[in-house]
Every structure is written in structure tokens, then in C-alpha cells.
Chain A
Amino acid sequence: EAGVAQSPRYKIIEKRQSVAFWCNPISGHATLYWYQQILGQGPKLLIQFQNNGVVDDSQLPKDRFSAERLKGVDSTLKIQPAKLEDSAVYLCASSTSPRGAQETQYFGPGTRLLVL
């Protein structure tokens, strides 16, 4: 079974530029998550999708971050404009359902973003 795919793996941009990350979840997983992992910290949930609908985006900085999952499969996370403090690893995860007791989230390799 193929895992969660993410691209690019690394990205370096200057502040105020825009950047986009792509994620393809495990086949058949209805729920997709985007996390931000700042160096030295645990991952923090940015947004959660159930199919193509947003379940939770309470911690997404909506003035600069946006995400979509138009066809309920792959997803794109965008930052525009980027700030220095956005430097982090952006992790995508997927699971079969958001509320099942057996839910396990499976993570992709992440995209490491450096904002100069």
C-alpha cells in the first residue's frame, strides 16, 4: 500500500513570496490533515478535511494560509505572503475517518520550508 505522498520535499523562498505544497493521501482515506511542525516542537494541526469539506480550520492563519481539497483526494496548502516565522516542516496526514475509535493518522514525509 502506497503511503502519503508530498511534494516538494524542500523549499526555500524569500519573505513575502508565495509557496504551495501538495499532498496525496493513502487511497481510500477520506480524512486529510495538514500540520505545521516548527523546529523543536510537536506537530500542530492547521486544517482537517473530510472528503472535500473542511472539518476544522481554527488554527489556520487565514490571512495568509489557504488550503483546498477540491475533488476529495489530493490537497494543496498555500502560503501567501510568507513570513520568516512560517519556516517549518509541513506534514500531511490521512486517516479513514475522523471519529472512529480505531483511527490512526498516517503521515507523509513532509515539506521543509525555509523563509529567508
Chain B
Amino acid sequence: AQSVAQPEDQVNVAEGNPLTVKCTYSVSGNPYLFWYVQYPNRGLQFLLKYITGDNLVKGSYGFEAEFNKSQTSFHLKKPSALVSDSALYFCAVRDGDSSYKLIFGSGTRLLVRP
């Protein structure tokens, strides 16, 4: 069965500093990986995805994520955090070989201090 783990409930970072939000996954086939962001009282907004190809994926709002097959990780990164990046971030995985279901992690709250 596929699963996603986001080990940190909250990540705190100062504005201008780099940020990392961690995600690890488990699937039996080829992983399709996604990051979404959720602002208060809003739905999930798509940030980026990894399907195949280059391990470094660039997405919206300056975010990027690195796919690491050996570590089964797909960490979200940004070189310089903004206060407006403060939100709830969800990692999700789909087993590309056997399932169409998108399984979400429990979310990580990012707090960027001015």
C-alpha cells in the first residue's frame, strides 16, 4: 500500500533564509509525487509534481523539490523564504504502476518570521 510521511508538524524559518519541508513516501511501483499548499480557509493549490526525468523539479512561487529514489524522499525547498509563504503544505503520492489514488501526508505548517 502507498503511504506518505511528513515528519514535521511545523517548520519555523526566518524571512530570507532557505526553507525545507520534508516528505518521504512508500509505493511498490513508480512514484508520482506532488506538493500542494493550503492557505487559511482556502482549498489546496498545486505547487509542483515529479513524474519522471530530472530529479529537481521547479514549481510555482519559487518552490522546488528534489526527488531522491534511494532515500524515497521528495523534500520541498525554497532558497529564500517570504512571510507570505506561511501556510500548510501537503505532500502526496500516487503509485503510477498500479493505482490512480492520490494519498496525502498529514501536512506541515510553515511559519516564516519577519
**Chain A positions near chain B (C-beta within 8 angstroms):** 4, 6, 9, 40-45, 48, 55-56, 91, 93, 98-99, 101-110, 112
Could you say which of A9, A42, A101 contacts B105, with CB atoms under 8 Å apart? Answer: A42
CB of B45 within 8 A of chain A?
A: yes
Distance (Å) between the CB of A57 and the closest chain B CB? Answer: 12
Instruction: List CB contacts (< 8 Å) of B92-114 with chain A.
Output: 92, 96, 100-102, 104-107
Tell whether A41 pairs with B106 under 8 Å between CB atoms, given A101-B32, A104-B46: yes
| Dominant secondary structure of chain A at its interface with chain B | loop
Contact B104 A42 (CB under 8 A): yes
Contact B44 A99 (CB under 8 A): no
Distance (Å) between the CB of B40 and the closest chain A CB? Answer: 11
User: Which residue of the partner chain A has the closest CB to B45?
Assistant: A107
Neighbouring B residues of A107 by C-beta, 8 Å: 36, 43-46
